[in-house]
Structure 1
Amino acid sequence: MNTEHTTPRGTALLLAAAPIGKGRLIDAAGVLPTLAAVPPATLTRTPAGTIVELADPTDQQTVLTRIRAAAAAPGPLTVCLAGQLHLDTKQHLLHVALARATRATLRYTGLPWNWLASELKPRRPGTTTVLVDLIAAPEPWQQICANGLTLGPGIALYGRISPPPPHRRVAEPAYLKAIATTWRSGLNPPIAELHAKAASKTGQDGALFLATDAFPAAAPTRTPPRPTSAAEDPLPAILATAHAGHHDAAASLAEQWESRALHAYGPGSPQAIHWLEVRADLARIAGDPARSCELWMAAADARLALRQHPDDPAVVAPVDRAHHQWQQIPDPQRARELGPHLAALRRHVPGQRPGATQAVQRRLELLDTGAHR
């Protein structure tokens, strides 16, 4: 049988964009040569594929037209997106900044995230995979840490989102490069496995990793999913367990893996801290901001004990997340208990948001006077 005539051609859209000049946080287009060297059939996971490449585009409508055309193609669609995220000044909506984007003109020189979601929404569920490697400016970083990032049901979204690099350094899209390197080696594992491999190689900068399958786990049942094998990366399965509502089971799995890391690498090791941070995020997903705050602070303390610099994004990120979760704690007494620890951390790790240290102190004063929240 000639499968080329029975299977729709797949499409891969390779989009890399970042502002030109001082506003550039990531060398987004630097990943395109590596991606372009991947066989089209590997990118699209079909016997034949069409590749559309956009390198540092400048025009919002041109980008939208290319996305619309790719989304309208009948076969599977893979989108590889490298760039940086900002909020526009008027509506505070998330945008991928294009080459001529500035803060003042972002609404007209950036790609709104909701445009991308809207164009992909009509596609048949399970036929769309989006892989992202993004740097988020401080405001969207806070928003994403709090609320996550999705493209809607039926769309598989995997990737890495990092805070701005320190000292005006321009980051590289290391996550997508790791994925492209795996593809170029001749391997083409399932997307979740591919993501796990890339995440394990590029998770040292305090990044968030997205792992949203096209078909999310079913509603909670009485029997939670069994633990994943030591031969597999357990994180995607643990996150799926949490998002399915099995919060105790997910936390238990993470604790088991943390125990293994403690045994293999020792207390305070980067491997053990990784699982401490996973547990902190699981507490957030479970709706327990106090526990999440407590664990994020423990992770920050552990990284500082490793002599990581207070400006290191891997240190700043857990303090930022602890701060955000502390603000969500509904019980004034619990917030008062955790506040002094957070205030001490904030004085040592002020982060990139002006006034964060003072904001903790102000809320502590309000809690002490009974005028909480």
Structure 2
Amino acid sequence: MPGTVLLLAASPTGKSCLVDAASVLPILAAVAPDVLSGTDTANVVELADPLEPQAVLTRLRAAATAPGPLTVFLTGQLQLDRRQRLPHLALARTTPATVRYTGFPWHWIREELRLRTPGSTTVLVDLHADPETWQHLATQPLAVGPGTRLYGRVAPPPPRRAVASPTYMKSLATILRSGHRPPLPHLHQQALTRSWGEDPEAAHRDIVLALDPTQPAQHIPQYMQPPQDIPQYMQPAQTMQPMQPAPGPYPEPFHPAPPPVPVSVPAPASPTAPPSPCPSPPSDPHAEITAAVESGRHAEAAELAGRREREALSAHGPGADEVVHWMEVRADLAMFAGDAELSCRIWLAVADVRLAARQDPGAPGVEAAVDRAHHQWGRIDDAARARELGPALADLRLRVPGRRQGALDDVQRHLSRLQAQV
């Protein structure tokens, strides 16, 4: 079945322009349609610096309703609607004051793609964000729907009066021009490596997007990381490795778990009852939790993870890798549910457990736990609760300063502000 490819490059004209989006189109257009799509044949639609949101919607809707795989290559810049605080793709006539009327709402992309067959749609993006949108992405990461692959990066605004180059998308197009299309995760990583080779500092600034329902997760996905204008020590560590690194087919967004226990045929219920010829293996708890989170059943997901933690505690004892794993899962679940206080408390407990197990304060797992506790602490709305947890975080920061200077000072300053509110 033929595929469909939509090449969309959009940026404002004039002083509002942050990125030369259209400069990538000649390189992408030089790639064979079947390589762009990853199918035997493909139809390619190109939109260069469109003027009207409805024109973009018409092309996107037509592409979304076409049979077969759909691949969208999207280059441009994001701006916030000042009234509703929703991100928009800036178009040629977009200005900060008119984005609500002249930009293309990001959630329209999600709406147009939501009815497509899961796994049949890929969106590859190279986006730059203005300062307001960059800050917004700290708590509202981009999404394109649960069944759609999303790969790419979001970059911060370039220096004043500078226009950035879409280096990620140009690198991706250059790779594809060879005629070889690596698997998407490899293509994504190669494009990142090439683009960061031109600008090494971007590796520490960019938000990396890697949402893929067809791929197993190997760690907390990078799309959950907040933008880099938030202090580095308040961000989840990008290179944190779980305590049990054995690979397995575990759905994102959770850490990999220990390898599953081999399933044995259960014993007969009575001496005369033969065993079932088709015993049912135990369900994957990670898959159950993922399904619960995706459908908004956060309490159920937390109960499932808590049950697994209690079982691991009973089987292996306090401090075991299996126990810490499920603590980390619960901390993530609290974050996804918007409970920053609970997430902070659990990450503090994880750090304490790791340190009690004589892990080095500079170990990735220890640093990551404290960084994540710090990040969540800064998002607690209740000042009294934040004051309660502040001293414990400050004590941990004395022992685990992290990779960046100033983390302890940040905790102490914020705690002082909280105490002044009493």
TM range, smaller chain: 0.5 to 0.7
Give the count of matched residue pairs: 283
Call closer, same or farther: CA 1:323–1:95 in 2, change over 3 Å.
Answer: farther
CA shift at 1:335, angstroms? 3.1
Call closer, same or farther: CA 1:224–1:365 in 2, change over 3 Å.
Answer: closer
Question: C-alpha separation between the residues in 2 aligned to 1:67 and 1:160?
Answer: 21
Tell me, yes or no, if the aligned pair for 2:244 and 2:258 is still in contact at 8 Å.
no
Tell me which residue corresponds to 2:254. 244
Corresponding letter in the other structure for 2:207? L
Tell me which residue corresponds to 1:53. 46
Question: C-alpha separation between the residues in 2 aligned to 1:248 and 1:103?
Answer: 49
Could you say what secondary structure the match of 1:243 adopts? coil
User: Which one is further off, 134-143 or 333-342?
Assistant: 333-342
Query: Is 1:327 aligned to residue 378 of structure 2?
Result: yes
Report runs of 4+ in structure 1 exceeding 6 Å deviation.
Answer: 339-342
Could you say what secondary structure the match of 1:189 adopts? coil
Tell me, yes or no, if the aligned pair for 1:160 and 1:210 is still in contact at 8 Å.
yes
Call closer, same or farther: CA 1:135–1:325 in 2, change over 3 Å.
Answer: farther
Tell me which residue corresponds to 2:213. 214
TM-score, scaled to structure 1: 0.66
Query: Is 1:226 aligned to residue 236 of structure 2?
Result: no
Call closer, same or farther: CA 1:284–1:162 in 2, change over 3 Å.
Answer: farther
Tell me which residue corresponds to 1:166. 159
Matches within 5 A, 1:30-179: 30-179=23-172
Tell me, yes or no, if the aligned pair for 2:73 and 2:123 is still in contact at 8 Å.
yes
C-alpha offsets along residues 145-165 of structure 1, whole Å, 9 cap, x if unaligned? Answer: 333221111100001001111
Query: Is 1:186 aligned to residue 186 of structure 2?
Result: no
TM-score, scaled to structure 2: 0.58
Q: Identity over the aligned pairs, expressed in percent?
A: 46
Could you say what secondary structure the match of 1:165 adopts? coil
C-alpha offsets along residues 286-315 of structure 1, whole Å, 9 cap, x if unaligned? Answer: 7455869xx9xxxxxxxxxxxxxxxxxxxx
Tell me, yes or no, if the aligned pair for 1:31 and 1:177 is still in contact at 8 Å.
yes
Call closer, same or farther: CA 1:370–1:248 in 2, change over 3 Å.
Answer: farther
Question: C-alpha separation between the residues in 2 aligned to 1:140 and 1:54?
Answer: 24
Tell me, yes or no, if the aligned pair for 1:162 and 1:208 is still in contact at 8 Å.
yes
C-alpha offsets along residues 177-230 of structure 1, whole Å, 9 cap, x if unaligned? Answer: 111111112221111110111122334321011111134659xxxx977249xx
Corresponding letter in the other structure for 1:243? P
C-alpha offsets along residues 106-151 of structure 1, whole Å, 9 cap, x if unaligned? Answer: 1111110111111111111111000000011122212223332211
**Structure 1: 5+ residue stretches without partners:** 1-6, 229-236, 250-281, 296-320, 349-356
Tell me, yes or no, if the aligned pair for 1:217 and 1:244 is still in contact at 8 Å.
no
Corresponding letter in the other structure for 2:213? A
Tell me, yes or no, if the aligned pair for 2:156 and 2:206 is still in contact at 8 Å.
yes
Corresponding letter in the other structure for 2:419? D
CA shift at 1:366, angstroms? 3.3
Question: C-alpha separation between the residues in 1 aligned to 2:190 and 2:91?
Answer: 29
Call closer, same or farther: CA 1:108–1:192 in 2, change over 3 Å.
Answer: same
Question: C-alpha separation between the residues in 1 aligned to 2:194 and 2:331?
Answer: 25
Question: C-alpha separation between the residues in 2 aligned to 1:284 and 1:99?
Answer: 42
Aligned-residue CA RMSD (Å): 3.8
Question: C-alpha separation between the residues in 2 aligned to 1:364 and 1:247?
Answer: 36
Question: C-alpha separation between the residues in 1 aligned to 2:26 and 2:70?
Answer: 20
**Structure 2: 5+ residue stretches without partners:** 218-242, 260-328, 336-342, 352-371
Tell me which residue corresponds to 1:318. none
Tell me, yes or no, if the aligned pair for 1:241 and 1:247 is still in contact at 8 Å.
no
CA shift at 1:283, angstroms? 11
Tell me, yes or no, if the aligned pair for 2:387 and 2:415 is still in contact at 8 Å.
no
Question: C-alpha separation between the residues in 2 aligned to 1:208 and 1:198?
Answer: 14
Question: C-alpha separation between the residues in 1 aligned to 2:244 and 2:64?
Answer: 36
Question: C-alpha separation between the residues in 2 aligned to 1:159 and 1:34?
Answer: 17
Tell me, yes or no, if the aligned pair for 2:77 and 2:90 is still in contact at 8 Å.
yes
Could you say what secondary structure the match of 1:86 adopts? strand
Could you say what secondary structure the match of 1:147 adopts? coil
Question: C-alpha separation between the residues in 2 aligned to 1:39 and 1:56?
Answer: 22
Question: C-alpha separation between the residues in 2 aligned to 1:148 and 1:63?
Answer: 22
Tell me, yes or no, if the aligned pair for 1:159 and 1:175 is still in contact at 8 Å.
yes
Could you say what secondary structure the match of 1:84 adopts? strand
CA shift at 1:368, angstroms? 2.4
Question: C-alpha separation between the residues in 1 aligned to 2:183 and 2:215?
Answer: 16
Tell me, yes or no, if the aligned pair for 2:387 and 2:419 is still in contact at 8 Å.
no
Corresponding letter in the other structure for 2:246? R
User: Which one is further off, 198-207 or 30-39?
Assistant: 198-207
Could you say what secondary structure the match of 1:146 adopts? coil
Corresponding letter in the other structure for 2:418? L
Query: Is 1:368 aligned to residue 378 of structure 2?
Result: no
Q: Which one of the candidate residues 166, 182, 194 is aligned to 1:201?
A: 194
Asked which structure has the greater CA Rg, the reply is 2
Tell me, yes or no, if the aligned pair for 1:80 and 1:131 is still in contact at 8 Å.
yes
Question: C-alpha separation between the residues in 2 aligned to 1:107 and 1:360?
Answer: 40
